């Protein structure tokens, strides 16, 4: 429906009362006219006051501004009723307006939810497509780490076993060193005791009367001292047989002894009036070669 143009605000013209003692109701002068739309609605429209002769306008303007103006109540009610009806035709009820706003909000919320769901579906699809590859790579890396861990465990066990073996070997070596030290102490004790016995016997022999020799006087000043030695890094080092055979023709061996330098023990051997010394061991370990000595005391057969 179209809003009738007859009820739009128009300027009002008034007739003024000439007699103060008589009160008139002043009514705007309008002529009814009908338009095509108004004829359909059955409501008359009023022309503007431009159709009134100019004389009336001049007469209206001649009255003072202090004259009281009155509006036709009937006309005012008709215009207000028409305007209210036309406004009500184009104004939505409050409930319908709220419903439309709620409907728009619901549509917007639905679109937002749909976009979020589509995004989640896309992300889930990408994750599901990439998950087998990632799981395969993770499984491969896990297997490699597991193999490295097992290899390190085996190496650690080997290191621990080697350390245990080293500890056992060190304890065994300590025991061997302790035993060797005891043997060395015993050997030194034996050497000292043997040397003391030899010196005692030599001192006693020097005081004894020798066997009766052939007639004549023996000259001991012609006796000589002779020594032979041999050096080497072997476990056993031996001297040559001494004295030589050509010297035995004129001399007789009065005594023969052995000694060793950087060695542990000696052995004196005799064969056909010749003597030989064998030296054993090596002390201290890692030192220079040991030296084996034989000492001879020779006296002439005839003096």
Per-residue H/E/C for the chain: CCCCHHHCCCCCCCCCCCCCCCCCCCCCCCCEECCHHHHHHCCCEECCHHHCCHHHHHHHHHCCCCCCCCCCHHHHHHHHHHHHHHHHHHCCCHHHHHHHHHHHHHHHHHHHHHHHHHHHHHHHHHHHHHHHHHHHHHHHHHHHHHHHHHHHHHHHHHHHHHHHHHHHHHHHHHHHHHHHHHHHHHHHHHHHHHHHHHHHHHHHHHHCCCCCCCCCCCCHHHCEEEEEEEEECCCEEECCCECCHHHHCCEEEEEEEEEEECCCEEEEEEECCEEEEEEECCCCCCCCCEEEEEEEEEEECCC
The verdict on residue 227 lying in a domain is yes
Instruction: Report the domain count for the chain.
Output: 3
Cα 30 from Cα 54, distance rounded (Å): 14
The verdict on residue 22 lying in a domain is yes
Of 91, 111, 132, the position where a domain reaches its end is 91
Of 151, 180, 196, the position where a domain reaches its end is 196
Q: What is the largest CA-CA distance in the chain?
A: 217
Asked whether residue 109 falls in the same domain as residue 163, the answer is yes
If we measure between CA atoms, which residue out of 54, 47, 61 comes closest to residue 15? 61
Range in 24-28, 109-113, 177-181 the model is least confident about: 24-28
Between the two ends of the chain, the Cα-to-Cα distance in Å is 180
The verdict on residue 207 lying in a domain is no
Here the tokens at position 81 are 């009723």
Q: What CA–CA distances, in Å, run from 144 to 14, 130, 140, 147, 154?
A: 108, 21, 6, 5, 15
**What's the distance, CA 43 to chain centroid?**
93
Here the tokens at position 288 are 């220079």
Cα 223 from Cα 4, distance rounded (Å): 175
Question: Would you say residue 55 has pLDDT above 60?
Answer: no
Cα 171 from Cα 282, distance rounded (Å): 23
What pLDDT is attached to residue 289? 83
Cα 35 from Cα 8, distance rounded (Å): 14
Asked whether residue 170 falls in the same domain as residue 232, the answer is no
* Structural domain range at position 259: 221-303
Of 65, 91, 117, the position where a domain reaches its end is 91
The verdict on residue 302 lying in a domain is yes
Range in 37-46, 190-199, 220-229, 236-245 the model is least confident about: 37-46
The verdict on residue 208 lying in a domain is no
Instruction: Pick the more confident residue, 168 or 213.
Output: 168
Mean pLDDT of the chain: 74
Asked whether residue 227 falls in the same domain as residue 274, the answer is yes
Q: How confident is the model at residue 301 (pLDDT cuts 50, 70, 90)?
A: confident
Range in 25-29, 43-47, 136-140, 246-250 the model is least confident about: 43-47
Asked whether residue 69 falls in the same domain as residue 108, the answer is no
Asked whether residue 137 falls in the same domain as residue 182, the answer is yes
Order of strands across the sheet that contains 224-232: 224-232, 290-300, 251-261
Cα 282 from Cα 234, distance rounded (Å): 8
The verdict on residue 67 lying in a domain is yes
Q: How confident is the model at residue 303 (pLDDT cuts 50, 70, 90)?
A: low
Asked whether residue 129 falls in the same domain as residue 141, the answer is yes
| Contact partners, residue 274, CB within 8 Å, separation at least 6 | 241, 242, 243, 245, 248
Q: What CA–CA distances, in Å, run from 222 to 88, 226, 250, 302?
A: 170, 13, 12, 10
- 240-299: pLDDT as tens digits: 999 999 999 889 999 999 999 888 899 999 998 899 999 998 877 766 788 999 999 999
Question: Would you say residue 15 has pLDDT above 70?
Answer: no
Question: Would you say residue 227 has pLDDT above 90?
Answer: yes
The verdict on residue 216 lying in a domain is no
The verdict on residue 47 lying in a domain is yes
């Amino acid at each position: 429906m179209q809003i009738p143009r007859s009820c739009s605000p128009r300027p009002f013209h008034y007739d003024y009362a000439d007699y103060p003692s008589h009160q008139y109701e002043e009514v705007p002068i309008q002529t009814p006219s009908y338009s095509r739309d108004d004829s359909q609605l059955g409501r008359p429209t009023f022309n503007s006051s431009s159709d009134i002769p100019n004389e009336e306008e001049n007469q209206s303007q001649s009255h003072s501004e202090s004259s009281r103006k009155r509006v036709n109540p009937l006309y005012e009610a008709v215009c207000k009723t028409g305007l209210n009806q036309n406004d009500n035709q184009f104004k939505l009820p409050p409930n319908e307006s709220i419903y439309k706003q709620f409907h728009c909000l619901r549509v917007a919320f639905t679109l937002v939810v749909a976009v979020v769901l589509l995004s989640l579906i896309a992300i889930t699809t990408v994750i599901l497509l990439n998950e087998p590859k990632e799981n395969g790579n993770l499984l491969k890396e896990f297997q490699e780490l597991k193999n490295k861990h097992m290899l390190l465990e085996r190496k650690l066990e080997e290191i621990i076993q080697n350390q245990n073996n080293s500890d056992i070997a060190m304890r065994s070596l300590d025991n061997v060193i302790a035993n060797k030290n005891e043997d060395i102490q015993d050997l030194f004790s034996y050497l000292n005791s043997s040397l003391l016995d030899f010196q005692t016997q030599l001192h006693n022999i020097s005081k004894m009367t020798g066997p009766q020799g052939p007639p004549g006087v023996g000259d001991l000043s012609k006796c000589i001292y002779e020594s032979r030695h041999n050096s080497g890094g072997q476990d056993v080092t031996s001297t040559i047989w001494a004295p030589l055979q050509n010297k035995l023709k004129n001399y007789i061996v009065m005594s023969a002894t052995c000694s060793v330098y950087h060695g542990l023990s000696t052995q004196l051997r005799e064969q056909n009036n010749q003597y030989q010394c064998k030296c054993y061991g090596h002390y201290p370990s890692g030192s220079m070669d040991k030296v084996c000595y034989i000492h001879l005391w020779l006296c002439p057969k005839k003096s």
